[in-house]
Amino acid sequence: MKKKIALLSLALSGAPAFAADLLQVYRDAVAYDAQFASAKAAWEAGQEKLPQGRAGLLPVISATASTTWNDVDYNRRMLNTPPIDAQYNTNGYTLTLTQPIFRWQNIEQYGQSKLQVVAADAQFAQARQDLVLRVAQAYFDVLLAQDSLGLAQAQKKAIGEQLEAAKRNFEVGTATITDTHEAQARFDLVTAQELAAQNDLEIKRQALRQVIGKVPESLAVLRAQVQLQRPQPDDMGKWVEAAESGSPLVAAQQAALEIADKEINKQRAGHLPTLDLVATRGRSSATGGLAAGVSLPGSDTHSNTIGLQLTLPIFAGGAVMSKDREAVALREKARADLDNTRRAAALGARQAYLGVTSGMAQVRAYEQALVSSQSALDSNKLGYEVGVRINIDVLNAQQQLFATRRDLAKARYDTLVAQLRLKAAAGSLGEDDVQAINALLDK
């Protein structure tokens, strides 16, 4: 049945099948995932802020050139003076070099550009961590859906056997028709659950396909006797401290606050004078022409200048003061955003830590419950055979056993994802952590 489901999934997807583990799926996601590709492009764009900011401190060189045809008709108001009709061409070029000597707003802009690169790096680091979490969640969602389907099929088989036994016992007169009806009702119910599990598995496989662009034929599953490890260090306070200082989101918001600080200085620089070194080199020439029948010679002029240009702002309609007030308000916003980000990082670390520790406790409890449920089922089966238990007792014990197996699998997957979330909260999640969890899979 599982093979039929896998073939159905492949037929729906229209993509070639392949087997993979968590590390392979993660590497495929790095190359395929559109959300991560968008974050990478944003990071590359952010790296260009530094040369853009540095450009404000470097010289600017510009060149202009022109050519003009001149036709001059000049009539002088003097007796016996013929008019002058001159035709000639003028052309020339000018090279201008401007080197800022004192432009405080450009210095602040350069400082901002460095911080913008820091913010871009932090945001990309967060995007990489988010990719790890999304891949792990999608991967374990598929495994859980596979487990749920497998358990539903196993439960259906067990109930089917119980149904057949109830029918035989009724035929020989050792059981009532009620046992048959109860078994048939449970069989019909688990059939519906099996169909729902098949649909859920296909949905989870397609969700994984969205991240990696492929439909895995099979995934490496978690080893049955895997031992989960407690967080290291096993101290919530230390994880909270690490999150408040090491989270990429906190680093990005810290950079945003420093950028806002420099923006205030940048706007206040609008009150300050600017001083530039300006150097020019030019050439202008004119061709010869005719004026009043007389041939005029051409000319060729070269000029070189160098000097200092001081600009002193006096009044700009109140725009500079308004931008200053705006920058101060935005700095306070950035400060509040930083506080909120730190608190959110601390909360995320606490939640992830509790998710790991609580998850491990649940795993141990479900493991013990699984042993107890198996014993209860065996006892009820034996009791049914000797006539001290009824059919519904066996059916209930079977349902409890399979539900415990499903809950145990979910608790293990949730705990592994919580471990990754804890690392992400502290800003230390990377491919090494994916490899560590991948080592727990049965390939």
Using CA atoms, how far apart are residues 224 and 230, in angstroms rounded to an integer? 18
The 10s digit of each residue's pLDDT in 31-55 is 999 999 999 999 999 999 999 999 9
Q: Pick from 312, 307, 344: which is nearest to 99 by CA?
A: 307
| CB distance 156 to 189 below 8 Å | no
The 10s digit of each residue's pLDDT in 429-440 is 999 999 999 999
List the alpha helices (DSSP H) in 269-318: none
Spatial neighbors of 345 by CB under 8 A, at least 6 apart, are 243, 244, 247, 249, 250, 425
Q: Start-end ranges of CATH 2.20.200 in the chain? A: 59-102+273-312
User: Is the per-residue pLDDT at 273 higher than 90?
Assistant: yes
Q: Which residue has the tokens 């979330």?
A: 421
Q: Which residue has the tokens 């998710």?
A: 355
User: Is the per-residue pLDDT at 89 higher than 90?
Assistant: no
As a whole number, mean pLDDT of residues 66-79 equals 74
pTM of structure: 0.85
The 10s digit of each residue's pLDDT in 302-332 is 999 999 999 999 988 899 999 999 999 999 9
Q: CA of 360: how far to CAs of 226, 240, 349, 365, 429, in Å?
A: 12, 20, 17, 9, 20
**Token couple for 252:** 């990005």
Using CA atoms, how far apart are residues 93 and 64, in angstroms rounded to an integer? 5
DSSP 269: G
Using DSSP's 3-state secondary structure scheme, residue 366 falls into helix
Beta strands in 148-208 (DSSP E): none
Using CA atoms, how far apart are residues 170 and 167, in angstroms rounded to an integer? 5
Per-residue confidence (pLDDT) for residue 221, from 0 to 100: 94
- Torsions phi, psi for 94 (to 5 deg): -140, 130
Assign a CATH topology to domain 2-56+104-271+318-442: Outer membrane efflux proteins (OEP) (1.20.1600)
Taking the CA atoms of 344, 350, 352 and 354 in sequence, report the sign of the dihedral they define.
negative
As a whole number, mean pLDDT of residues 117-138 equals 97
Q: Which residue has the higher pLDDT, 287 or 197?
A: 197
Using CA atoms, how far apart are residues 11 and 209, in angstroms rounded to an integer? 14
- For residue 84, name the pLDDT band (cuts at 50, 70, 90): low
Using CA atoms, how far apart are residues 219 and 204, in angstroms rounded to an integer? 13
Q: What are the percentages of helix, strand and coil residues in the chain, rounded to 5?
A: 65, 20, 15
Instruction: Indicate the average pLDDT of the chain.
Output: 89
CATH class label, 59-102+273-312: mainly beta
Q: Which residue has the tokens 């995934």?
A: 219
The 10s digit of each residue's pLDDT in 358-394 is 999 999 999 999 999 999 999 988 887 887 787 788 8
Q: Start-end ranges of CATH 1.20.1600.10 in the chain? A: 2-56+104-271+318-442
H or E element in which residue 278 lies: strand 274-286
Q: Pick from 212, 208, 202, 178: which is nearest to 30 by CA?
A: 212
Q: Pick from 252, 307, 17, 262: which is nearest to 121 by CA?
A: 252
Using DSSP's 3-state secondary structure scheme, residue 426 falls into coil
Using CA atoms, how far apart are residues 378 and 365, in angstroms rounded to an integer? 20
How far does CA 276 lie from the centroid of its chain?
44
Q: Pick from 396, 405, 387, 406: which is nearest to 183 by CA?
A: 396
